[in-house]
Amino acid sequence: MSPNRTVIPFGPQHPVLPEPVHLDLVMEDERVVEAIPSVGFVHRGLERLVEKKDFNEMVFVAERICGICSFIHAAAYCTAVEALMGIEVPERAQYLRVFWSELSRVHSHLLWLGLLADSFGFESLFMHSWRLREKVLDIAERTTGGRVIFGASKVGGIRRDVTLGAIREARRYVAGIEAESGRITDVFRQDASVKRRLVGVGVLSREDAYSLGAVGPTLRASGVDWDSRKLGYGAYGRLDWRTVVETGGDCYARCMVRVRELEESYRIIKQVMEGLPSGAVEAKVAGNPKGEAFVRFEQPRGEVVHYVRGNGTKNLQRLRVRTPTFANIPALVKMIQGCELAAVPVIVLSIDPCISCTER
């Protein structure tokens, strides 16, 4: 090491981090030359629980891999097991899964906007974003019973139906949330102090984003047009929505991708509520899973992959989850090189790190 370099540890305890990740920052004066990540602080060994819980009970474990992306983990796991067992999920259940997935996405992006504002010291904007997030959690609680962990998915469909009254109320709530969200995101889009902290910070070029395997908004902010919802799983193939792409590749572009995705999500939620088909909400599940299945879903942070393997008993043989933050960490390491120390929290937060997903 040359005499000017020092190593500063970032995390696992840090005020901006929602979950613990450790980075060793090799610094030359005020510039970061290299960042060496360590993960493993919240490893709970959840994949091993397939040996103890049968494939129906495993939904509860899959839901609790992460608090923010909880519903989509459960939906992806259920879809993987349904693909394995050849179960056809009824339409109403698929639409309601999309409804709750998009609600999760809105909740996650509002939470992230708040944390981003907090990371550069804009606490009042952080509080306003989280105040709005409470209304989203109210919709979730009214329709599923839980604010963060919905408990709504099961293999074969969903566990409880949503009444017409609840849909009407949700529609009113969403209209109010959309208006308020416009006022809050206007500050992110236009405020000069926000822009000074975000524009030009942590640039990731298009080639780097693609070759390092970045996913989600991190990828889309660098100009690559890929969203896993384009695969058309669930009801996404039947709804009218667009992917959101920006070309800046800096933190501001990643912020704009998430702000515009919020607006897209409101459109999708309104379409689902208007066009909700009637019918059953669950399909019969008989027998045990046997074989292999592989599904890719779009979480708020990017593409998540669930792989299941069954051997004919009621316990699955293997569950493997590849989460989006794990795929974004190499991109993060590349982005941090060359930035100032004060920009490190902003860049780490701009990939939306969900370390409890990463480590399960």
Partner 1 sequence: MSEMRMTGLIVRSMLSKPATRLYPFAKREPFPATRGRVVPYLQWCNSCTLCQMRCPTGAIKVNREEKTWRIDRFRCILCGACVSSCMKRCLAMDGAYAAPEPKKGVEVFSRPAEMEPWVKELVDRVRKAVAAQVAGGSG
The residue ranges that bind partner 1 (CB under 8 A) are 53, 57, 60-61, 64, 124-125, 128, 131, 134, 138, 141-146, 149, 151, 159-160, 183-184, 186-187, 190-193, 195
Which parts of the chain fold into alpha helices (H)? 58-63, 70-85, 91-119, 123-144, 164-190, 192-198, 206-211, 217-220, 251-274, 324-336, 344-350, 355-359
Residue closer to partner 1 (CB basis): 14 or 160:
160
Minimum CB–partner distance for residue 166 and partner 1 (Å): 8
For residues 338 and 7, is the Cβ–Cβ distance under 8 A?
no
If one counts every other C-beta atom within 10 angstroms of the C-beta of residue 273, the result is 16
Smaller CB distance to partner 1: residue 193 or 337? 193
Which DSSP string do the residues of 273-298 spell out, in sequence order? HHTPPPS-SB----S--EEEEEEEEE
Q: Which is nearer to partner 1, 224 or 283 (CB)?
A: 283
Residue 302, helix vs strand vs coil: strand
Instruction: Please state the closest distance from residue 184 (CB atom) to partner 1, in A.
Output: 7
Q: Which is nearer to partner 1, 107 or 220 (CB)?
A: 107
For the chain, the residue count is 360
Q: Which residues contact 74 (CB under 8 A, 6 or more apart)?
A: 59, 62, 63, 150, 152, 153
Alpha-carbon separation of residue 83 from 77, 161, 306, 310 (angstroms): 10, 22, 11, 12
What residues contact residue 221 under an 8 Å CB cut-off, 6+ apart? 204, 245, 246, 248, 249, 250, 253, 254, 256, 257
Task: List the structure tokens of 85.
Answer: 């067992």
Task: CB nearer to partner 1: give 41 or 60.
Answer: 60
Distances (CA, A) of 205 to 31, 200, 202, 246, 348: 20, 12, 10, 12, 17
Minimum CB distance to partner 1 smaller for 282 or for 352:
282
Q: Which is nearer to partner 1, 34 or 169 (CB)?
A: 169
Q: How far is the CB of 190 from partner 1 (least distance, A)?
A: 5
Element (H, E) at 33: strand 31-38
Whose tokens are 């800096």? That residue is 250
Q: In terms of CB distance, is 201 or 351 closer to partner 1? A: 201
